[in-house]
């Protein structure tokens, strides 16, 4: 049993293979958080020490006990207005206008398997793999009930948390803020590791000390955003890549989020992950509920590397779904950086021909194929094939391409509309817009109100009408601006950012149901909606609009802290690179793109025969290593933000083979020999390097490292090792 309950002491213990999470409903019914960390036996109640703290109030039931204060006690789901002056997990505005929610224990339930969430993505697991604990808390006055959900995946060392808030009282209440996870640490100093960025430079690693100040990161942009990723690590001071304790919090959601971390007056640390409170006022009538999206928690006692590998496994096994969950994906050639919007059907066909010649599996026709879409100022919303531009029907084009033995994929941006479009002219009231105000434009486009079913239905039918014209085997779902003009024609105000995301999920689910064979790739100006929520629908997401392999080293490094390599859309593009102007060797571009879904985004016709031959070889190499890359354990070997050599490796779970990848980011004259230490190998086993035939003990490769060849700037070195004998 992963979930243990001591009925008498009302202690709830969640055990995974290596971790323990414990809480207790105390004598006043307050759900205290007792412990989260390495697996331990018994009760951790003794850790909670009460002291009389001036200006920290005492709940009335505590009588004259001035040492009992919610301001200092570790709590599982702190409400507000209870004398806890730290950040709350839940803020309610009650029917009488008061802002108070005093949650007390009201019961629990245990079941086999992992709970699911209505309309929201969540980790899934069978009865053998997981157990669920539901703890109910209630505010005695307003009768607001909170069901705390805990999913325990023992073998994966994962604990998921979500909360369902229900108005069981009379009159309307408003949820002003709701988190799904709160971690209160009664002891220790921590750092917060978060991943900030911008369009074309997503997920930069940042480690900051958690001080006596509330650190808040999040998104108010409507999507999870390029600016902050909805996943963080709380690291003990001594935690490094390979050692020390650290906690992960990964939000399974694609919209506005908020993560807070603060050390309080007496040295406790509180971390919260949940919905952003900005633009959020969620009214609940009698009987109505709000489900807070899930947070996936893990604790690793062996540093960030182990934490990442656990998340990779969890996402691959318990978030990914459908045909491509465990299957190799086609190598694709995308038309965007080859032609942008300037193409014809013949040019697309030529690209497909090149693909066939180079051994590439699929041709993706990116933006520009519909309506009057000759530039990015018009036609979004008009999902009608421009046959004049293509010179044929879509069906004919696909048939010709398939005739070459090449699969076909297509780009869409269903949530958006341009003012210059037939759709906007017919339905100007379908966009997010505040009555009486002009909307904010971005890329000259507006956002359709995807919280409205009629809007989704219309777009869905339009898109299906396109997909039904031929054998479409891949769809790239883009989303190229943020949400600004938050107003709903249909729902009470304050719900729209949440309902919008639910609309996106409903649309995605419907698309997958209707086209279960299609490979869906998420995208939002590259990696602006790269989160565990979208990965539930699309097993890959375009990692960044930046295809420069040197910048990608950092982007993919940051992404790797939570998300598996098999989810990272990554392509070889032309030089000079279109985003940075940098010139890098084709080999380097290949090595970096291989640590992702692998594909191309260039016009091979512009390459020399020598380069084309190199591409053929690259494609063959990738196929050789694809299984190892997709299913192997991922090891970060250096830090590309700090080290000249960016290095990482894939190691088969059983240690039988490894693929080492190194790129030199900057060079100097007469430099020292570089050495890279591998990880994850079998220490006593002998490994043979394919290229040289040299053999090395795993222990030697890990403890002393391997000398690198003399590499020039931006050059890559990729080498494969197999167990000898």
Q: Which stretch binds ligand GLA (CB under 6 A): 121-129, 428-436, 522-530, 676-684?
A: 522-530
Question: Residue 143 CB, nearest distance to ligand GLA (Å)?
Answer: 47
Alpha-carbon separation of residue 147 from 5, 71, 444 (angstroms): 17, 23, 43
Rounded to whole angstroms, how far apart are CA atoms 124 and 126? 7
Other Cβ atoms less than 10 A from the Cβ of 313: the count is 19
Out of 21, 205, 280, 336, the only residue in the binding site for ligand GLA (CB under 6 A) is 336
Encoded tokens for 603 = 């016009």
Closer of 286 and 376 to ligand GLA (Cβ): 376
Contact 324, 190 (CB under 8 A): no
Q: Which stretch binds ligand GLA (CB under 6 A): 42-50, 158-166, 523-531, 668-676?
A: 523-531
CA dihedral (341, 344, 349, 353) positive or negative: negative
Residue nearest to ligand GLA (CB): 367
Helical (H) or strand (E) element with 403: helix 394-403
Closer of 354 and 366 to ligand GLA (Cβ): 366
Contact 716, 585 (CB under 8 A): yes
Question: Residue 574 CB, nearest distance to ligand GLA (Å)?
Answer: 14
Site string for ligand GLA, 465-484 (x = CB under 6 A): -------------x-x----
Closer of 10 and 373 to ligand GLA (Cβ): 373
Q: Phi, psi at residue 426, to the nearest 5°? A: -80, -35
Question: Residue 376 CB, nearest distance to ligand GLA (Å)?
Answer: 6
Does position 542 interact with ligand GLA (CB under 6 A)? The reply is yes
Nearest to 211 by CA among 228, 195, 189, 239: 189
Contact 536, 563 (CB under 8 A): no
Question: Residue 653 CB, nearest distance to ligand GLA (Å)?
Answer: 33
Nearest to 236 by CA among 312, 304, 310, 305: 304
Out of 523, 602, 658, 676, the only residue in the binding site for ligand GLA (CB under 6 A) is 523
Q: Which stretch binds ligand GLA (CB under 6 A): 231-239, 520-528, 681-689, 714-722?
A: 520-528
Helical (H) or strand (E) element with 534: helix 532-535
DSSP state of 612: H
Out of 366, 419, 499, 551, the only residue in the binding site for ligand GLA (CB under 6 A) is 366
Encoded tokens for 302 = 């062996």
Site residues for ligand GLA, window 369-388 (CB under 6 A)? 376
Does position 367 interact with ligand GLA (CB under 6 A)? The reply is yes
Whose structure tokens read 């230490």?
A: 677
Q: Identify the three-state secondary structure at position 404.
A: coil
Closer of 35 and 542 to ligand GLA (Cβ): 542
Catalytic residue among 457, 611, 653, 690: 611
Site string for ligand GLA, 400-439 (x = CB under 6 A): -----------x----------------------------
Question: Residue 478 CB, nearest distance to ligand GLA (Å)?
Answer: 5
Q: Which stretch binds ligand GLA (CB under 6 A): 13-21, 61-69, 188-196, 519-527?
A: 519-527
Rounded to whole angstroms, how far apart are CA atoms 48 and 115? 30
Question: Residue 594 CB, nearest distance to ligand GLA (Å)?
Answer: 19
Active site residue 611: yes
Burial bucket for residue 689 (CB in 10 Å: 0-12, 13-18, 19+): middle
Residues composing the chain: 725
Could you tell me how many residues of this chain bind ligand GLA (CB under 6 A)? 12
Does position 525 interact with ligand GLA (CB under 6 A)? The reply is yes
Question: Residue 411 CB, nearest distance to ligand GLA (Å)?
Answer: 5
Other Cβ atoms less than 10 A from the Cβ of 555: the count is 28
Q: State the pairing for strand pair 571-573/599-601.
A: parallel
Rounded to whole angstroms, how far apart are CA atoms 463 and 455? 12
Q: State the pairing for strand pair 645-651/158-167.
A: unpaired
Closer of 150 and 542 to ligand GLA (Cβ): 542
Active site residue 478: no
Out of 409, 526, 533, 674, the only residue in the binding site for ligand GLA (CB under 6 A) is 526
Site string for ligand GLA, 9-48 (x = CB under 6 A): ----------------------------------------
Closer of 305 and 525 to ligand GLA (Cβ): 525
Rounded to whole angstroms, how far apart are CA atoms 648 and 659? 9
Question: Residue 344 CB, nearest distance to ligand GLA (Å)?
Answer: 17
DSSP E strand stretches across 403-532: 407-412, 416-418, 445-447, 472-477, 519-522
Question: Residue 569 CB, nearest distance to ligand GLA (Å)?
Answer: 9
Closer of 296 and 379 to ligand GLA (Cβ): 379
Rounded to whole angstroms, how far apart are CA atoms 531 and 225? 9
Catalytic residue among 26, 236, 382, 531: 531
Question: Residue 32 CB, nearest distance to ligand GLA (Å)?
Answer: 46
Other Cβ atoms less than 10 A from the Cβ of 205: the count is 18
Whose structure tokens read 């959601």?
A: 253
Q: Which stretch binds ligand GLA (CB under 6 A): 148-156, 521-529, 590-598, 695-703?
A: 521-529
Cis omega (within 30 of 0) on the bond before 576?
A: yes
Q: Which stretch binds ligand GLA (CB under 6 A): 294-302, 467-475, 518-526, 694-702?
A: 518-526
Torsion angle (degrees, nearest 10) of CA 507, 510, 511, 512: 120
Closer of 366 and 419 to ligand GLA (Cβ): 366
Out of 202, 473, 545, 551, the only residue in the binding site for ligand GLA (CB under 6 A) is 545
Rounded to whole angstroms, how far apart are CA atoms 273 and 231? 9
- For ligand GLA, the binding residues (CB under 6 A) are 336, 366-367, 376, 411, 478, 480, 523, 525-526, 542, 545
Active-site positions read 531, 611
């Amino acid at each position: 049993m992963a979930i243990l309950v001591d009925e008498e002491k009302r202690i709830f213990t969640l055990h995974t293979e290596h971790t323990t999470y414990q809480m207790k409903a105390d004598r006043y019914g307050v759900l205290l958080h007792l412990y989260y960390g390495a697996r331990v036996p018994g009760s951790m109640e003794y850790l909670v020490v009460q002291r009389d703290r001036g200006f920290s109030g005492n709940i009335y039931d505590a009588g004259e006990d001035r040492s009992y204060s919610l301001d200092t006690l570790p709590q599982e789901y702190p409400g507000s207005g209870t004398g806890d002056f730290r950040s709350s997990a839940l803020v309610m505005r009650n029917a009488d206008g008061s802002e108070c929610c005093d949650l007390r224990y009201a019961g629990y339930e245990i079941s086999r398997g992992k709970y699911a969430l209505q309309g929201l993505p969540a980790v899934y697991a069978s009865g053998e793999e997981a157990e669920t604990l539901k703890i109910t808390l209630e505010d005695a006055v307003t009768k607001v009930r909170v069901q705390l959900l805990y999913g325990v995946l023992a073998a994966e060392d994962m604990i998921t948390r979500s909360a369902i808030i229900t108005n069981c009282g009379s009159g309307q209440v408003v949820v002003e803020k709701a988190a799904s996870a709160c971690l209160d640490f009664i002891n220790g100093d921590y750092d917060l590791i978060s991943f900030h960025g911008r369009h074309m430079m997503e997920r930069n690693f940042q480690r900051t000390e958690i001080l006596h100040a509330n650190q808040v990161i999040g998104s108010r942009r409507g999507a999870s955003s390029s600016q902050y990723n909805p996943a963080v690590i709380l690291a003990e001071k001594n935690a490094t890549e390979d050692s020390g304790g650290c906690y992960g919090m990964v939000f399974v959601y694609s919209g506005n989020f908020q993560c807070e971390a603060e050390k309080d007056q007496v040295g406790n640390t509180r971390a919260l992950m949940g919905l952003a409170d900005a633009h959020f006022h969620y009214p609940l009538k009698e009987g109505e509920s709000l489900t807070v999206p899930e947070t996936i928690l893990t604790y690793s006692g062996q540093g960030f590397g182990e934490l990442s590998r656990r998340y990779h496994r969890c996402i691959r096994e318990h978030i990914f779904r459908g045909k491509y969950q465990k299957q190799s994906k086609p190598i694709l050639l995308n038309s965007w950086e080859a032609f942008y919007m300037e193409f014809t059907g013949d040019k697309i066909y030529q690209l497909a021909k090149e693909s066939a010649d180079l051994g590439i599996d699929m041709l993706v026709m990116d933006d520009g194929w519909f309506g009057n879409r000759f530039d990015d100022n018009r036609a979004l919303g008009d999902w009608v094939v421009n046959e004049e531009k293509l010179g044929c029907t879509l069906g004919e084009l696909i048939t010709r391409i398939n005739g070459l033995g090449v699969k076909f994929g297509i780009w869409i941006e269903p949530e958006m509309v341009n003012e210059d479009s037939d759709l906007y002219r017919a339905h100007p009231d379908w966009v997010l817009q505040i009555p009486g105000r002009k909307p904010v434009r971005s890329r000259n486009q507006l956002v359709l109100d995807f919280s409205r079913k009629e809007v989704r239905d219309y777009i869905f039918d339009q898109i299906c009408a396109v997909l039904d014209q031929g054998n479409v085997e891949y769809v790239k779902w883009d989303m190229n601006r943020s949400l600004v003009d938050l107003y709903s024609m249909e729902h009470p105000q304050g719900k729209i950012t949440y309902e919008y995301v639910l609309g996106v999920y409903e649309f995605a689910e419907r698309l997958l149901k209707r086209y279960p064979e299609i490979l869906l790739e998420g995208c939002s100006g590259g990696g602006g909606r790269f989160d565990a929520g979208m990965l539930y629908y699309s097993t890959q997401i375009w990692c960044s609009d930046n295809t420069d392999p040197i910048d990608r080293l950092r982007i993919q490094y940051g992404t790797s802290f939570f998300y598996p390599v098999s989810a990272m859309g990554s392509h070889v593009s032309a030089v000079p690179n279109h985003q940075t102007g940098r010139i890098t060797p084709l080999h380097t571009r290949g090595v970096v793109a291989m640590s992702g879904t692998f594909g191309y985004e260039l016009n091979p016709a512009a390459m020399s025969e020598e380069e084309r031959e190199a591409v053929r070889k690259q494609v063959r190499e990738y196929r050789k290593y694809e299984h190892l890359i997709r299913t192997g354990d991922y090891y970060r070997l250096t830090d590309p933000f700090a080290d000249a050599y960016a290095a990482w490796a894939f190691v088969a779970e059983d240690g039988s083979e490894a693929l080492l990848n190194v790129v030199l980011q900057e060079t100097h004259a007469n430099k020292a020999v570089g050495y890279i230490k591998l990880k994850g190998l079998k220490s006593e086993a002998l490994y043979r390097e394919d290229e040289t035939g040299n053999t090395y003990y795993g222990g030697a490769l890990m403890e002393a490292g391997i000398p690198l060849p003399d590499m020039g700037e931006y050059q890559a070195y990729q080498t494969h090792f197999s167990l000898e004998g």
